[in-house]
Amino acid sequence: MKDAGVTDSDRSTECASMAMTPAEVVRELLELIAALDRRVPQVQRAGEASIARDAAALKARALKRIEEIEREPAHADEV
pLDDT at 53: 93
In angstroms, the CA 30 to CA 62 distance is 8
In angstroms, the CA 48 to CA 44 distance is 8
- Contacts of 36 by beta carbon, 8 Å cutoff, 6+ apart: 55, 58, 59
pLDDT at 8: 59
Residue 73 or residue 79, greater confidence: 73
Tell me the mean pLDDT in the region 18-29: 95
* Confidence band of 73 (pLDDT split at 50, 70, 90): confident
pLDDT at 35: 97
In angstroms, the CA 60 to CA 79 distance is 29
pLDDT over 70 (residue 48): yes
